Amino acid sequence: MKTTETGLNQCYVIEPTIHGDERGYFLESYNQSNFNAALGFKVDFIQDNEAFSTKGVLRGLHFQKGEFAQAKLVRVTQGKVLDVAVDLRPESSTFLKSFTIELSAENKKQLFVPRGFAHGYIVLSETALFNYKCDNIYNKASESGIIYNDNSLNIDWILDPLDFNISDKDKVLPTVKSLF
Whole-number pLDDT of residue 102: 98
Edge to edge, the sheet with strand 127-134 lists 2-5, 12-15, 110-113, 72-78, 127-134, 47-54
According to CATH, the superfamily of the domain at 2-179 is Jelly Rolls (2.60.120.10)
Digit-coded pLDDT (tens) for 90-108: 999 999 999 999 999 999 9
The C-alpha angle 161, 101, 133, rounded to 5 degrees, equals 105
Mean pLDDT score of the chain, rounded to an integer? 97
Task: Name the pTM for this structure.
Answer: 0.95
- Catalytic status, residue 132: yes
Residue of 12, 62, 119, 148 with catalytic role: 62
- Catalytic status, residue 19: no
Query: Which residues, listed in sequence order, are joined to residue 15 by a DSSP beta bridge?
Result: 2
Mean pLDDT of 29-37: 95
Whole-number pLDDT of residue 17: 93
CA 4 vs CA 11, 16, 105, 165: distances in Å: 9, 11, 19, 31
Confidence band (pLDDT; 50, 70, 90) for 1?
very high
Give yes or no for residue 180 having a pLDDT over 90: no
Digit-coded pLDDT (tens) for 51-82: 999 999 999 999 999 999 999 999 999 999 99
**Percent of the chain at pLDDT above 70?**
100
Contact criterion met (CB below 8 Å) for 15 and 109: yes
Give yes or no for residue 111 having a pLDDT over 90: yes
DSSP strand E in 46-141: where?
47-54, 57-64, 72-78, 80-87, 98-104, 110-113, 117-123, 127-134
Residue of 12, 119, 121, 132 with catalytic role: 132
Digit-coded pLDDT (tens) for 154-176: 999 999 999 999 999 999 999 99
